[in-house]
Amino acid sequence: MPDCNDTLRELELFLDHELSESARLEIHGHLEGCPDCLQAFDFHAELRTVIAAKCRNDEMPPGLMRKIANCFGPDFAEDGLATDHDTPESS
């Protein structure tokens, strides 16, 4: 079983569905038994939902994304920010 550090470290991969099935099950099992990690997981999951919705609707206030990126570091900014802008919308 992963401990709390393992779980938190793999949280982003878990949310990205980039873990193997067995790793996902282990993380999931830990979350069910650990309120602290579950709370962290809920926070990250909700944050992603909010960010995804805001990005789609293009309603993200300019300063907010920068604040969030500062919280998570440059990796987050590179992965999450510039994806939608170069994509042609056909519909």
- Interface residues with Zn ion (CB under 5 A) are 4, 34, 37
The sign of the CA dihedral 49, 50, 51, 53 is positive
Query: Which CB atom, from 4 or from 45, has the smaller least distance to Zn ion?
Result: 4
Q: Which is nearer to Zn ion, 35 or 62 (CB)?
A: 35
Structure token digits, residue 20 = 């193997």
For Zn ion, give the closer residue by CB, 5 or 22. 5
How far apart CA 77 and CA 79 sit, in angstroms, is: 6
Q: How far is the CB of 45 from Zn ion (least distance, A)?
A: 15
Please, what is the minimum distance in Å from the beta carbon of residue 40 to Zn ion? 8
Q: Quick one: which of 9, 6, 3, 11 has its CA closest to 34?
A: 3
